[in-house]
Amino acid sequence: MTYAWIKAGHLIFVIFWIAGLFMLPRYYIYHQEAAPGSDEEARWIDRERKLRNIILTPAMILVWVFGLTLAYTTGAWSQGWFHAKFALVLILSGYHGYMVSYGKKLARGERPVSGKALRIMNEVPGIATALIVILVIVRPF
Ligand code: HEM
């Protein structure tokens, strides 16, 4: 019973986290299309900060807390699919950290990466989610 509740919590916050990761680079793309110093840019900075602080970072922390609890409960550490999933989740967490720091640079008026590069990077969460779901459901190894 407790296990089922922890798994439900895990999946609820996985959805919030991944939804936020889909949205944040999109916001950055629109932000970079606004004129530097404009009111529109100020509105994007505010939206991005709220998305990061209210949804994205709390959701990531809770996914980790519930996920690690599941891993200790089920003994997943000894299974091959979990090693691969863990590696992908580390990459996704690194991507999250990069996107958070990118937003802080944007708020300071820097625009280090082009809109095209952001569009390409925006594919990372989708690809990682597809691979992780295949690993946890199909468990090919
Ligand atoms: C942050 C670190 C994470 C850890 C430590 C973790 C760990 C786990 C563990 C141990 C399970 C239980 C498997 C079982 O029932 O035997 C699980 C279930 C699941 N995880 Fe994660 N997870 C993490 C992140 C994620 C992410 C980012 C996703 C999706 C993008 C995800 C998707 C799922 C799904 C769909 C299940 C349910 C599988 C089932 O029905 O058995 N997890 N997770």
- Cα of 101 vs centre of ligand 1, distance in Å, is 26
71-77 long-range contacts, Cβ below 8 Å, gap at least 24?
A: 73/3, 73/6, 74/3
85 annotated as ligand-binding: yes
96 annotated as ligand-binding: no
- Cα of 92 vs centre of ligand 1, distance in Å, is 13
Helix, strand, or coil here: 34? coil
- Cα of 14 vs centre of ligand 1, distance in Å, is 8
Report residue 40 as tokens. Answer: 């529109």
pLDDT at 1: 83
In the chain the first and final C-alpha atoms are separated, in Å, by 27
| Atom 3 of ligand 1, nearest CA residue | 67
Tens-level pLDDT at each residue, the chain (141 residues): 899 999 999 999 999 999 999 999 999 999 999 999 999 999 999 999 999 999 999 999 999 999 999 999 999 999 999 999 999 999 999 999 999 999 999 999 999 999 999 999 999 999 999 999 999 999 999
**Closest ligand 1 atom to 76 CA:** 10
Amino acid symbol at 21: L
**Closest ligand 1 atom to 3 CA:** 15
Who contacts 65 (Cβ-Cβ below 8 Å, separation ≥6)? none
